[in-house]
Structure 1
Amino acid sequence: MIYIYNDYAGTHSTALAAAYHLKKLPLDRELTKEEILNTDYFNKLTKDDFGKFFFHGIDEDGNSVYTIGRKRNKLVVQALVNFITLLQEKHSHHEKIIFSNTSPTVPFAMTMGGFFSRGLHIDFIGVPLLVLGAKQCCHDILRLVEFTKQIGQSTEKKVVVLENQNFK
């Protein structure tokens, strides 16, 4: 199975989701500033990275975990779903793929932090807002990851898109 966490930039909530999924972050408490900032890819991607897949690792069940930034265009995920379905039909590739949108977990502080840090390159304003936002939403992201894994394990569908609108 392949898990793909996606959102606007692919560098904040998705990075945290992938790290939680792979048990690289503590599951039983609020994250520290250092844990947040040391998360793989957290606040490190640029506009040139939109649309690129980033591999984060293999989970305890042998499943691959990726992230992607799709900007505002949710058609990116739909295009990927259509392409994957075509490959599965034409080439008998039957790996289950779960797309999980992390955007609904993102608080205003993280949105503004990403804008200042990644958009305007003003880290002294953006990074503290990103840390604040990450602390505000870490429990929601963890619940989203647990839900995503549950769906992945229980569904028979080969491609699943989770919009996760109930996680804010």
Structure 2
Amino acid sequence: MIYIYNDYGGTHTTSLAAAFHLKKLPTDRTLTKEEILNVDYFNKLTSSDFGKLIFHGIDEDAHPVYTIGRKSQKLVVPAMKNLTLLFQERGEMAEKIIFSNTSPTVPFPMSIGGFFSRGLKIDFIGVPLLVAGAKICCNDIIQLVQNTKRIGRSTNDQITVLENKEFK
């Protein structure tokens, strides 16, 4: 099974989701500023990284975890799904894939912080907002990851796309 967390930029909530999924972060307390800023790829990707699958690691069940920033292109995940179906129909791939959208967990401070930091390159305004936003949404991301793993284990579908609208 392959897990792919996706959202607009692929560098904030997706990176946190991958880190929680891989048990790189504690789930029993509020994260510190340092823990947030040290998450792999958190606030480090640029526009040239949009559309690239970023490998984060292998989880406890030996499943790879990836993220992707899809920008505003809502067709990225459906295109990836259809390409995967094509490979599966041809017998060239038997792996189950779970796409999980982290966008519904993004709080307003994180959206503004991402705009200032990644868009305008004004980190002294953007980074504190990103950290504040991360602290706000961590519990939702933890729940999203738990739900993603639960569905991954229980579904018989070869490809599952989770929009996670319940987190809005």
- TM normalised by structure 2 equals 0.99
Name the Cα RMSD after superposition.
0.6
State the one-letter code of the partner of 1:152.
G
Give the Cα separation in 2 of the matches to 1:12 and 1:47: 14
| Map of 1:55 onto structure 2 | 55
Give the Cα separation in 1 of the matches to 2:82 and 2:13: 25
Q: Does 1:121 align with 2:121?
A: yes
> Aligned ranges for residues 102-117 of structure 1 at < 5 Å?
102-117=102-117
Give the Cα separation in 1 of the matches to 2:132 and 2:93: 42
State the one-letter code of the partner of 1:9.
G
Give the Cα separation in 1 of the matches to 2:145 and 2:108: 20
Could you list the runs of 5+ residues in structure 1 that have no partner in the other structure?
Answer: none
Runs ≥4 residues deviating over 2 A? none
- Per-residue deviation, residues 9-47 of structure 1 (Å, max 9, x unmatched): 000000000000000000111111000000000000000
Give the Cα separation in 2 of the matches to 1:49 and 1:91: 30
Give the Cα separation in 1 of the matches to 2:3 and 2:106: 19
Query: Helix, strand or coil: the match of 2:167?
Result: coil
Query: Helix, strand or coil: the match of 1:18?
Result: helix
* Aligned-pair CA distance for 1:92: 4.3
State the one-letter code of the partner of 2:84.
I
- Per-residue deviation, residues 111-132 of structure 1 (Å, max 9, x unmatched): 0000000000000000000000
Could you list the runs of 5+ residues in structure 2 that have no partner in the other structure?
Answer: none
State the one-letter code of the partner of 1:94.
A
